Structure 1
Amino acid sequence: MTSPADPAPRTYSYLGPAGTFTEAALAQVPEARNQRWRPVRNVGEALADVVEGRSHAAMIAIENSVDGGVSTAQDALATVPGLRIIGEYLVPVDFVLVGRPGSSLEDVSTVAAHPVAYGQCLQWLTRTLPEHAHLPAASNVASAVGLLDGTSDADAAIAPPTITEHHDLVVLARNIGDNPNAVTRFVLVSRTVAPAPPTGADKTSLIVELPEDHPGALLELLEQFATRGINLSLLASRPIGDALGRYRFVIDADGHIHDERMADALLGLRRFSPKVLYLGSYPRADRTVVRYPDRYSDDVFVEARDWLRALLSGEPEA
């Protein structure tokens, strides 16, 4: 029980119900342990919780190693103001096929599954249940829960392996994912805050719109990073929605806003495009130290600024 002197517990929103991969990602956050976890039904609800103050932060899926970027999350981050990514977490993706107690694999003709999970198990399903029908579900756990609460007409469901820890279901098949190396990347999103200090193993996320459509426009955008020795780990396009052929670019760049080269690149991007959305700088989930040539070190950028300042002040060159 919380005493009057204890701080109020923080609330974290995640795609529920209990047992989802998103919950597994939230379990990796040290500061979220022993706090209040709020299951929600979609990304929009999770981010609204943060913006409107119901939650301290929200965990959302942003990218999958098989299917690429999660478009709903990317679009939400591009259009909901006042958010910052403060951390990222990786969750290996594995699936089981579950059914009601007493059922067997031979009984299955209809499979409930979230569309992303269904796509990642399609080869196995085609081989094992070639005549099955797919019944879309809102989440990996909801597909399984529907078997028990009467809301689903499916015979079986694709779900995370932990589903049997929460619900009375039988496992009809294990390891049904088509890619054993599949991983989903999640990000923890809070309201706008100052970035945490750099760790040397950081990532910066941005969304940038091209100012106009002309030959070489994307190249001009990418040169802001290339000429400063910054590697991009993600570059994805999403339609802006106001006209055909208009796109915004979702970017993950290796480094931190406190790094001189990254700060200089952000200034260049701002001059290039008036619509640059800074989503945050945060530690990489894999903790891999960012490497770059010596000519892009902080000292080189500081020396160049000092050199220009001396020229402007009229100091004689050494």
Structure 2
Amino acid sequence: MTTDPTETPNRRTYSFLGPAGTFTEAALAQVPEARDQHWRPVRNVGEALADVVEGRSDAAMIAIENSVDGGVSTAQDALATMGGLRIIGEYLVPVNFVLVGRPGATLADVSLIAAHPVAYAQCLQWLSRELPAHAHLPSASNIASALGLLDGTSDADAAIAAPGVLEHHDLELLAERIGDNPAAVTRFVLVGRTVAPPPPTGADKTSLIAELPEDHPGALLELLEQFATRGINLSLLASRPIGDALGRYRFVIDADGHIEDERMADALMGLRRFSPRVIFLGSYPRADRAVVHYPERYADDVFVEARDWLRGLLSGAPVEEA
């Protein structure tokens, strides 16, 4: 990667939550198109997406979902309120935490541990077992907890961080794989400016945000029926407050399939008729490349045949009864 755009002015720029050594950087390293390009470290999700909207970056990598803690609300809210953005890819990063200290430190020296509250909660069982007398010093981020040990701004003896921090900073590895859930994974999405979706691959995901109309019994069920009646599975359904009144929510949705699939296109049109606001975030290949399966009655040719049948009725042409 490169970080100084003045050195290579013709290369693309990617924003990510920095500095070097974060899980977000590990996600960006999975993007083939980003290799040997400019990587721009930023301080938060809002700054990363603003870089894209305002043209400082071509794309931004942001965390959007964690298998332990669920959706990343700051990312979901930013995507709901900042226009002109599209998700163009997704990437999965295993969440493996390490405990690091200053050079020469040992595990026996540790009594105060700096950590982001989320990271701390995901390592609490290990910490309680191995360092039962420790205290926690909350940090703004995983990387900040580690860098504070080196620049003298932290009183902690050790820090919880992503493994990548050891590739960039002279820190002592005190323990590795300290997370309580070895299967923990964070899902990241690469976000660019509004573009046409890539062609369907058969292993795709469509992301969108929809608001409910006026509050009434069964409103959420009506929203979900737009997908259920077309054989579309939802892999994510998360509610976020709109903020203009109590009880008003928008729903973040990940649906299996691509907007060019007849069933998905039909569902989105149904959702558009039902919802006062629908934000299409993109259709893109799934990170796991798992092929989307659906009942045969929801195949594209079934929708096409039904549409042709209706057109025949409207034209007055003779139509064979099924």
**Length-normalised TM-score, structure 1:** 0.96
- Amino acid in structure 2 at the alignment position of 1:143: S
| C-alpha distance in 1 between matches for 2:18 and 2:141 | 8
CA drift of 1:161 comes to 1.7
CA drift of 1:162 comes to 2.5
1:190 correspondence with 2:192: yes
1:133 match: 135
Query: Structure 2 residue aligned with 1:104, among 91, 103, 106?
Result: 106
- Amino acid in structure 1 at the alignment position of 2:302: V
Q: Please show how residues 123-162 of structure 1 align to structure 2 within 5 Å.
A: 123-162=125-164
Query: Structure 2 residue aligned with 1:114, among 103, 108, 116?
Result: 116
Query: Structure 1 residue aligned with 2:237, among 224, 235, 238?
Result: 235
Flag structure 2 segments of 5+ consecutive residues without an equivalent: 3-7
1:22 match: 24
1:312 match: 314
- Asked if the contact 2:205/2:286 (under 8 Å) is kept, the reply is yes
| C-alpha distance in 1 between matches for 2:274 and 2:133 | 53
| C-alpha distance in 1 between matches for 2:83 and 2:111 | 44
**Length-normalised TM-score, structure 2:** 0.95
Matched residue SS, 1:179: coil
Q: Deviations over 1:176-198 (max 9, x none)?
A: 10000001000000011111110
1:179 match: 181
| C-alpha distance in 2 between matches for 1:38 and 1:146 | 21
| C-alpha distance in 1 between matches for 2:271 and 2:201 | 24
Matched residue SS, 1:312: helix
Percent of paired sites with the same residue? 85
Matched residue SS, 1:130: coil
- Amino acid in structure 2 at the alignment position of 1:65: S
1:268 match: 270
Q: Deviations over 1:218-261 (max 9, x none)?
A: 10000000000000000111111112211111100000000000
1:282 match: 284
Number of residue equivalences: 314
Deviates more, 1:6-15 or 1:248-257: 6-15
- Amino acid in structure 2 at the alignment position of 1:10: R
Q: Deviations over 1:292-315 (max 9, x none)?
A: 111101101111111111111111
Matched residue SS, 2:33: helix
- Amino acid in structure 2 at the alignment position of 1:286: D
Query: Structure 2 residue aligned with 1:218, among 196, 217, 220?
Result: 220
Q: Deviations over 1:10-36 (max 9, x none)?
A: 000000111111001001001111100
What stretches of structure 1 move > 6 A for 4+ residues in a row?
A: none
- Amino acid in structure 2 at the alignment position of 1:249: F
CA drift of 1:7 comes to 8.0
1:80 match: 82
Flag structure 1 segments of 5+ consecutive residues without an equivalent: none
| C-alpha distance in 2 between matches for 1:155 and 1:72 | 30
- Asked if the contact 2:23/2:164 (under 8 Å) is kept, the reply is no
CA drift of 1:159 comes to 0.9
CA drift of 1:174 comes to 1.4
CA drift of 1:115 comes to 2.0
